[in-house]
């Protein structure tokens, strides 16, 4: 992480304490961490008597309604622009365009942060921006309350997959404990994000499981979602995201492929791998890319040809 | 909870500190909490130079191999009998029969504990016995290490559904933090129990989803597992346990039914309900029983008749 103008959480707290009419920017396709972190900061700033609201390129999904965020609708003229959980200015969008090149402070946890803001407070070792935000809010001398706690707990819980992912540390649990003590409805939040599935998700799972096949001595699992099924279910990209993790999560599987039909002769392949297999390398063989454990590419041809081609690359990767 | 001979964690620690040749009993069909709590105590007692081993009616499942527990094979003559996470002596089994009526100390977190031991250290408000065990081990003055931490973290994580269930408190997270600091392989444990599924589970899910139907204005979801399928997959009761939660977890569903065929004309029905519906009442209508959110019963007849009968009761429960 090469960050210019890097500042500490204490300096970030000081800047916020001295500011007013603060516009908080979330990243597009907002998730629980950008929404929860921005929400927590919004409630904290309001407690200090400041004017503050949140702006996001995309609509905040209904499932975050309980956080009761105040969205920016020109109710004040922004004097300080703060982006939250936004690794790069490209992740902001058109709706926030007047502010994208003028972000005063970025609060983030992505190691890939591009240092686009005048000041950046980023800790790439943390599993969630919300964990960093808790420190900033505490530094400002704001007493935690139920609203702040619900927002930050949502951020931490969603970005750590419920305290499961590897960046979770003892400090993450200490943060969780503080937020529960401050009144976070932790069971409600857990239920909402981890213990229920939409009917669309369930139908997608059903169709995907019916196509499940194993290859490469059962080390590769493949599911296919045809255009017909996706149209029938009216599945959104976020619905498919949940399916992509499924084949890899089967015991003994090192490479999970989710093949999604785009047109009659083109397919998007999502590749998930276990620790020792590089998903990005497999994707790059088809002009795609991504991360070492999760990558993707588009391949042209019939389903049979596409499958054969990708399985050849998987076979090579598994033999390395 | 009416417990005679109730003792504090401090008194439990004192008893253990003064004992040697300690036999630890787990409950039958052992889960992560009975195994993890017994394992944590085993490592702690060994650190104090004591002789100690674990006995359980059933085989400890392979997935707990990483805890490297020492099982009792008559390597010493037990002088102190300690049951761990065992609510009633009935949950011990034949293999532990010589000791079942002579348990000196029971360490537990079940509100339904029957007070069968000479001394009972039970806190029914805790989500896991492992959380109580941590306090007992700390009271004994034993420094936590990786072995103890892995055992207790396994207990807490499995019994809280990964910090999701309602009995999880800030103290549970503080316990989690301590165990991570002591070296618990928390990511490994999370992966093992929450991020992978066996092929049997996946096949059961597939078959169950293919039978999924909605009734009562979509407030009741039903899946059926026929004897043919269960035999084909060679499914164990623990495999089916995972399926039972699925229908209720669908958005908008208040009653989830999993109908499992026992013989040509008898079916076991698992009933899971949302907050305001009493699963036990529905089950009792068929001579079954259980808890308010999870209950079960057996019903005789053809699949169609059984379905009709249970749906009539569900309809009544939903209209209350």
Query: At B11, is the pLDDT very low, low, confident or very high (cuts 50, 70, 90)?
Result: very high
Going by C-alpha positions, the residue among A264, A263, A265, A244 that lies closest to residue A255 is: A244
Report yes or no: A190 at the B interface, CB cutoff 8 Å.
yes
Decide the pairing of beta strands B266-273 and B294-300: antiparallel
Report yes or no: B176 at the A interface, CB cutoff 8 Å.
yes
- B250 CB neighbours in chain A (<8 A) are 196-199, 202
Residue indicated by tokens 């499981």: A209
User: Are residues B165 and A187, on separate chains, in Cβ contact within 8 Å?
Assistant: yes
Whole-number pLDDT of residue B198: 86
User: Are residues B177 and A171, on separate chains, in Cβ contact within 8 Å?
Assistant: yes
- B202 CB neighbours in chain A (<8 A) are 209, 212, 250
Mind telling me how many Å the CA of B31 is from chain A's nearest CA?
A: 19
Whole-number pLDDT of residue A289: 85
Whole-number pLDDT of residue B24: 98
CB-CB contact of B156 with B131 (8 Å): yes
pTM for this predicted structure: 0.87
First CA to last CA distance, chain A: 30
Report yes or no: B74 at the A interface, CB cutoff 8 Å.
no
Report yes or no: A188 at the B interface, CB cutoff 8 Å.
no
Whole-number pLDDT of residue B46: 98
- Residue A97 pLDDT > 80, yes or no? yes
- Residue A1 pLDDT > 60, yes or no? no
Query: At A238, is the pLDDT very low, low, confident or very high (cuts 50, 70, 90)?
Result: low
Q: Out of B174, B199, B209, whose CB is closest to A202?
A: B209
Whole-number pLDDT of residue B245: 86
Chain pair A-B, CB pairs under 8 angstroms: 107
- B161 CB neighbours in chain A (<8 A) are 195
Per DSSP, B127 falls in state S
Q: Is B212 exposed, middle or buried (0-12, 13-18, 19+ CB in 10 A)?
A: middle
Give which of B131, B156, B158, B174 to mutate to test A binding, by max A Cβ within 10 Å: B174
Whole-number pLDDT of residue B101: 96
- Retrieve residue B105's tokens: 């100390």
What would the 3-class secondary structure string for A192-204 be?
HHHCCECHHHHHH
In sequence order, the 6+-apart residues with CB closer than 8 A to the CB of B87 are B27, B108, B110, B112, B113, B114
Q: Out of B186, B190, B202, whose CB is closest to A250?
A: B202
User: Are residues B174 and A177, on separate chains, in Cβ contact within 8 Å?
Assistant: yes
Query: At A195, is the pLDDT very low, low, confident or very high (cuts 50, 70, 90)?
Result: confident
Averaged confidence pLDDT in chain B:
94
* Euclidean distance between CA atoms B201 and B189, whole angstroms: 19
Report yes or no: A199 at the B interface, CB cutoff 8 Å.
yes
Maximum average pLDDT range among A43-47, A230-234, B29-33? A43-47
Give the model confidence (pLDDT) of B264-294 as tens digits: 999 999 999 988 899 989 999 999 887 788 8
Query: At B176, is the pLDDT very low, low, confident or very high (cuts 50, 70, 90)?
Result: very high
User: Are residues A210 and B205, on separate chains, in Cβ contact within 8 Å?
Assistant: no
Q: Name the closest residue on chain A to residue B214, using Cα atoms.
A: A199
Query: At B238, is the pLDDT very low, low, confident or very high (cuts 50, 70, 90)?
Result: low
Instruction: Say how many CA atoms lie within 13 Å of B167 toward its Cβ.
Output: 17
- Residue B320 pLDDT > 90, yes or no? no
Q: Name the closest residue on chain B to residue A208, using Cα atoms.
A: B206
Query: At B120, is the pLDDT very low, low, confident or very high (cuts 50, 70, 90)?
Result: very high
Query: At B166, is the pLDDT very low, low, confident or very high (cuts 50, 70, 90)?
Result: confident
Q: Out of B161, B170, B190, whose CB is closest to A180?
A: B170
Question: For the ranges A9-18, A139-148, B234-243, which has the lowest average pLDDT?
Answer: B234-243
Mean pLDDT in residue range A242-260:
92
Whole-number pLDDT of residue A149: 98
Report yes or no: B62 at the A interface, CB cutoff 8 Å.
no
* Euclidean distance between CA atoms B257 and B251, whole angstroms: 15
CB-CB contact of A226 with A232 (8 Å): no
Whole-number pLDDT of residue A264: 94
Q: Out of A170, A197, A250, whose CB is closest to B250?
A: A197
- Residue B140 pLDDT > 60, yes or no? yes
Give the model confidence (pLDDT) of A263-315 as tens digits: 999 999 999 998 889 998 999 999 988 778 888 999 999 999 999 999 999 99
Question: For the ranges A72-76, A165-169, B16-20, which has the lowest average pLDDT?
Answer: A165-169
In sequence order, the 6+-apart residues with CB closer than 8 A to the CB of B235 are B200, B204, B225
Q: Out of B161, B197, B252, whose CB is closest to A249?
A: B197
Give the model confidence (pLDDT) of A48-81 as tens digits: 999 999 999 999 998 899 999 999 999 999 999 9
First CA to last CA distance, chain B: 30
User: Are residues A250 and B205, on separate chains, in Cβ contact within 8 Å?
Assistant: no
Report yes or no: B198 at the A interface, CB cutoff 8 Å.
yes
Mind telling me how many Å the CA of B81 is from chain A's nearest CA?
A: 34
User: Are residues A202 and B212, on separate chains, in Cβ contact within 8 Å?
Assistant: yes
Q: Express as a percent the part of chain B with pLDDT over 90.
A: 84
List all residues of chain B from 200 to 259 with a beta carbon under 8 Å from chain A. 202, 205-206, 209-210, 212, 249-252
Whole-number pLDDT of residue B306: 97
In sequence order, the 6+-apart residues with CB closer than 8 A to the CB of B43 are B145, B147, B148, B151
Q: Out of B163, B202, B206, whose CB is closest to A163?
A: B163
Mean pLDDT in residue range A100-107:
97
Give the model confidence (pLDDT) of A18-47 as tens digits: 999 999 999 998 999 999 999 999 999 999
Mind telling me how many Å the CA of B11 is from chain A's nearest CA?
A: 27
- Residue A239 pLDDT > 90, yes or no? no
Q: Name the closest residue on chain A to residue B189, using Cα atoms.
A: A164
Whole-number pLDDT of residue A183: 98
Q: Express as a percent the part of chain A with pLDDT over 70.
A: 98
* Euclidean distance between CA atoms B152 and B128, whole angstroms: 9
Whole-number pLDDT of residue B2: 58
- A178 CB neighbours in chain B (<8 A) are 170
Whole-number pLDDT of residue A129: 98
- Residue B118 pLDDT > 60, yes or no? yes
Give the model confidence (pLDDT) of B32-73 as tens digits: 999 999 999 999 999 999 999 999 999 999 889 999 999 999
Q: Where are the alpha helices (DSSP H) in chain A?
A: 9-18, 32-47, 97-100, 129-139, 146-159, 170-181, 186-194, 199-210, 227-233, 237-244, 279-284, 303-319
Report yes or no: A61 at the B interface, CB cutoff 8 Å.
no
Mind telling me how many Å the CA of B89 is from chain A's nearest CA?
A: 32
């Amino acid at each position: 992480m090469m960050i210019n103008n890097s500042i500490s959480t204490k300096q970030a707290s000081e800047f916020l304490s001295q500011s007013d009419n603060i516009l908080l920017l979330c990243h597009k396709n907002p998730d629980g961490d950008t929404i929860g972190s921005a929400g927590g900061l919004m409630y904290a700033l309001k407690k200090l008597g400041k004017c503050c609201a949140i702006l996001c390129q995309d609509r905040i999904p209904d499932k975050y309604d309980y956080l009761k965020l105040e969205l920016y609708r020109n109710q004040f003229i922004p004097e300080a622009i703060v982006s939250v959980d936004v690794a790069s200015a490209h992740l902001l969008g058109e709706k926030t365009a007047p502010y994208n090149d003028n972000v005063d402070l970025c609060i983030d946890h992505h190691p890939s942060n591009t240092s686009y803001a005048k000041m950046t407070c980023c800790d790439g070792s943390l599993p969630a921006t919300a964990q960093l935000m808790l420190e900033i809010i505490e530094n400002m001398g704001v007493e935690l309350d139920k609203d702040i706690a619900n927002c930050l707990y949502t951020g931490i819980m969603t970005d750590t997959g419920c305290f499961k992912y590897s960046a979770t540390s003892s400090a993450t649990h200490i943060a969780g404990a503080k937020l529960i003590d401050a009144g976070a409805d932790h069971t409600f939040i857990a239920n909402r994000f981890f213990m229920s599935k939409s009917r669309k998700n369930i139908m997608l799972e059903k169709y995907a499981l019916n196509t499940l096949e194993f290859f490469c001595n059962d080390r590769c699992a493949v599911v296919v979602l045809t255009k017909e099924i996706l149209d029938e279910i009216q599945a959104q990209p976020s619905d498919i995201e949940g399916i992509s993790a499924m084949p890899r999560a089967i015991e003994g599987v090192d490479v999970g492929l989710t093949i999604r039909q785009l047109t009659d002769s083109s397919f998007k392949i999502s590749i998930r791998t276990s620790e020792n297999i590089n998903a990005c390398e497999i994707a790059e063989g088809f002009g795609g890319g991504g991360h070492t454990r999760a990558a993707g590419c588009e391949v042209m041809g019939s389903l049979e040809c596409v499958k054969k081609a990708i399985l050849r690359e998987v076979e090579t990767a598994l033999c390395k």
